[in-house]
Structure 1
Amino acid sequence: MVRTILWLCLALWTTCVDATPDMERLYADLFQTLNPAIRPVANASDPVVVTVGAAIQMIVETDEQNQLLTTSMWMRFSWEDALLRWDPDDYGGTTSLVVPLHNIWIPDIVLYNNADSEFRGMIDTSPHLTHYGVVYWNAPALYKSSCRLNVRYFPFDEQRCILKFGSWSYDASGINLVNRSAAGDMSSFIDNGEWDVIGMPVRRNEVYYSCCPVPYPDITFTLVLRRRPHFYLFNLLMPCLLVSFVTALNFLLPADSGEKVGLVLTVLLALTVFLLIVAETIPPSNTTPIIGKYFIATIFIVSLSVIMTVFVLHLHFRLPGVGPVPIWLRKLAFVSLAPLLCVQASYDHGKPILPTESNGGHLGDIPVKNRKTKKRSRWVSTEDDSNDLTDLARAVASIDGNLHTLVTRCNEQDADEDILTQWKYVAVVFDRFFFVVYVILTVMTTIIILCQPKPYSE
């Protein structure tokens, strides 16, 4: 912008200060009878050949929500004016002249895909005129153009925005447009924080419109932009990736801690917030961008981890009296998965130790009736002694029955504890199995979605 202001000041200083009597006389002779509304050709059937060039200075704004691109450019036009020629010897060797813009004929070249309600464009700078009748008009311009943005590979996308210039009033028979070079000038481009300008190819077209039977030429500049993804990588993708891997620690958290489900739900809520931020960043489109696919896939995997966690807690927290672990589940957990996942458990020849049945645990191995029928040779049997022996036998039998009941209950409790321990072992094995499955799914999703090839030429 500073260079533009200096250039304008230099042009005005040249016009106002460098005026000489010869230049004043030349100016009066050239523009005394000149009509700037008439095309400057010697033959009315000849078109005016206008050379169009452009140099991009900076990308001002990219409005992705409204599909708009604002650029600052330096437009460069040149054409031959057959009515503005002179002999330098007649005017003191004057070979060039800077003239006001509205004093000469100017091609009505506009931006066809303009999207600015105020129709801002080129600044009315003064053209440069040579004694051969060649007019050079260089003018800075601020253009707001429509650009169809394809966000399929956002934030690793490449966009192609066109700037289509042409005459609004004259067809090919009135103004013939030719491009100055095969590509636009990028030597003065100021780096943009979000976009890299890969190229600016130029092509000439002749288009037949429905309004008119004659072709209209245009010069189309294609601005190839590649997005710099660093901002989105560090502010959206990296937090999402870290949060998804933190979720894997949920499977290493002991089930007795009571925080497994709470941790997963908190992570799921955080991912949902990130997805809302992404939805506000990218424009509405019929295609889902890469970053959106990654967030949706991550949310799906984390939701799946909630189901896995609930299943593990269902295996871990079993009520006493529940049946033993089914044979197929014992084989799957202890024989197949546990050695593969390096989970330590109690084994007996490759099989987990099952609770053994109680032998009864009687303290009195001799039946009561045998003890009752034994005769004591040293005692004299009397009626009182018989009653005492009967009472003693009943007491011993009662004690033996109570001890048998206690031993049976202890054995049943031990059997229940053994069964619950087996279920907990099964829960640990499946927790480790789900951990491996979750990590594999997360890594595969990251590689498949984020590392897929991006057809920039699309």
Structure 2
Amino acid sequence: MFLVTLIFIALINYVNSDCIIDERTPNKIYMGKLFDLLNSTDAPCKDATVVALKFSVRNFYFDKSETLFNTFIWIIFSWEDPRFKWNPDNYDGIDSFLVPFFFIWSPLPILHHMREFNEMEFLNYESRYCKIQNTGRIMCATKGIYTTNCHSQLKNWPYDIQTCALKFHIRDGIKDNVTFTFNSTRGLYALGAEYGSGWNIIDFSAVENATGEVKISLRFVVERQALGVVISVVMPSITVAVLTLTSLILDIKDRDRLYLAIFSLIINVSLLSVMGELIPHQGHDTPSILYYINDSIVCLDLLLRVQCE
């Protein structure tokens, strides 16, 4: 009985071995052939490879100390690789497909911004796929947060304007001959992202330099949204200034002059306390409005001394 069972199982396996169903569609078969054909991590050629770049800003913000400027950017790389060409008629009409960027040569690991933040930032890209077309055109899109030092200049606070720049370099040790360019386009776009948390982008530009250390530089000019500070600091400061001038023209013997001066002094001290919370502490200069309030306090101090005498 045991021998019969073994023979029966062997016959079933023999019959099934000739009846294996290939569930792969013709399209998937040709995709596999193309993928094997185009798989290459070597540079496209010994001559210079020209990579066209486009930067699209989606969001931006300063850190709490207003010393680090952060931008969330999409970067689109595109270039020509003559090895990646095929006739779609020979591959079931396939004229393009997606591959992970690490399966082919790509410029993603080559270009990076300021070294002090993240030397391996290209590993953190959320989008890691490239589109290959049968003409040899390759396009990769990545997105990430890029950070740069941008210390606030506070002389005109709260109407201050800051200029911040992202600088992209070629990674150390990279020997591939690559030129990055905007391909006669603007290169940097920020449509819909000009308004951030507490700041507005009022101007931006991109510069390419194929021969210098900095290959790509993105420049942002941002303006502080001052409405809240104007209501809480600037307008009260103007009001107190009017009260101080009024107290100066009143009769020295008028007791209302003394009360008005004391009230103005208390308001000025309160404004200094409020501004101590609002003004960034890492700025390189002193806001002019502080000198304005300081002069007002000195004036009130002299007025009170004269009044008391």
Report whether the alignment pairs 1:122 with 2:131.
no
> How far did residue 171 of structure 1 move?
6.2
1:177-326 aligned at under 5 Å gives the runs 177-180=180-183, 181-189=185-193, 191-206=195-210, 216=213, 218-251=215-248, 252=250, 255=253, 257=255, 260-261=257-258, 263-280=260-277, 281-289=279-287, 293-314=288-309
Aligned partner of 1:110 among 93, 109, 112 = 112
Distance 2:304 2:63 in 1: 43
> How far did residue 301 of structure 1 move?
2.7
Instruction: Name the TM-score, length of structure 2 as normaliser.
Output: 0.77
Report whether the alignment pairs 1:25 with 2:30.
yes
Q: Over aligned residue pairs, what C-alpha RMSD do you find? A: 3.1
Counterpart residue type for residue 141 of structure 1? G
1:1-400 aligned at under 5 Å gives the runs 21-31=26-36, 34-36=39-41, 38-41=42-45, 44=46, 46-59=47-60, 61-63=61-63, 65=65, 67-107=67-107, 108=109, 109-112=111-114, 115=117, 119=121, 122-169=125-172, 174-180=177-183, 181-189=185-193, 191-206=195-210, 216=213, 218-251=215-248, 252=250, 255=253, 257=255, 260-261=257-258, 263-280=260-277, 281-289=279-287, 293-314=288-309
Q: Which has the higher helix share?
A: 1
Q: Deviations over 1:295-316 (max 9, x none)?
A: 32333233223323432453xx
Distance 2:34 2:202 in 1: 48
Distance 1:149 1:285 in 2: 5
CA contact (8 A) 2:147 2:166 kept: no
CA contact (8 A) 1:111 1:164 kept: yes
Counterpart residue type for residue 286 of structure 2? T
Q: Deviations over 1:93-113 (max 9, x none)?
A: 211111122221221221226
Q: Which residue number in structure 1 is paired with residue 14 of structure 2?
A: none
Counterpart residue type for residue 287 of structure 1? D
CA contact (8 A) 1:78 1:134 kept: yes
Counterpart residue type for residue 110 of structure 1? H
Q: Which residue number in structure 2 is paired with residue 399 of structure 1?
A: none
Counterpart residue type for residue 176 of structure 1? T
> How far did residue 175 of structure 1 move?
1.1
Q: Secondary structure at the match of 1:94?
A: coil
Q: Deviations over 1:397-436 (max 9, x none)?
A: xxxxxxxxxxxxxxxxxxxxxxxxxxxxxxxxxxxxxxxx
> How far did residue 277 of structure 1 move?
3.6
CA contact (8 A) 1:170 1:216 kept: no
Q: Secondary structure at the match of 1:154?
A: coil
> How far did residue 241 of structure 1 move?
1.6
Q: 1:157 to 1:102 in 2, by over 3 A?
A: same
Q: 1:182 to 1:114 in 2, by over 3 A?
A: farther
Distance 1:96 1:23 in 2: 13
Q: Deviations over 1:315-369 (max 9, x none)?
A: xxxxxxxxxxxxxxxxxxxxxxxxxxxxxxxxxxxxxxxxxxxxxxxxxxxxxxx
Percent same amino acid among aligned pairs?
19
> How far did residue 197 of structure 1 move?
1.5
CA contact (8 A) 2:66 2:280 kept: no
Q: Secondary structure at the match of 2:216?
A: strand
Please say which structure displays the higher CA radius of gyration.
Answer: 1
CA contact (8 A) 2:244 2:296 kept: no
CA contact (8 A) 1:85 1:133 kept: yes
Distance 1:170 1:200 in 2: 31
Task: Flag structure 1 segments of 5+ consecutive residues without an equivalent.
Answer: 1-18, 208-214, 315-458
Q: Which residue number in structure 1 is paired with residue 11 of structure 2?
A: none
CA contact (8 A) 1:114 1:145 kept: no
Counterpart residue type for residue 122 of structure 1? Y
> How far did residue 62 of structure 1 move?
0.8
Q: 1:116 to 1:304 in 2, by over 3 A?
A: farther
Task: Flag structure 2 segments of 5+ consecutive residues without an equivalent.
Answer: 1-23
> How far did residue 166 of structure 1 move?
3.2
CA contact (8 A) 1:116 1:144 kept: no
Kindly indicate whether structure 1 or structure 2 has the higher relative contact order, using CA contacts under 8 Å at least 6 residues apart.
Answer: 2
Distance 1:149 1:246 in 2: 32
Q: Deviations over 1:242-275 (max 9, x none)?
A: 2232334545488464x75465345324323423
CA contact (8 A) 2:57 2:74 kept: yes
CA contact (8 A) 2:38 2:83 kept: no
Q: 1:273 to 1:172 in 2, by over 3 A?
A: farther
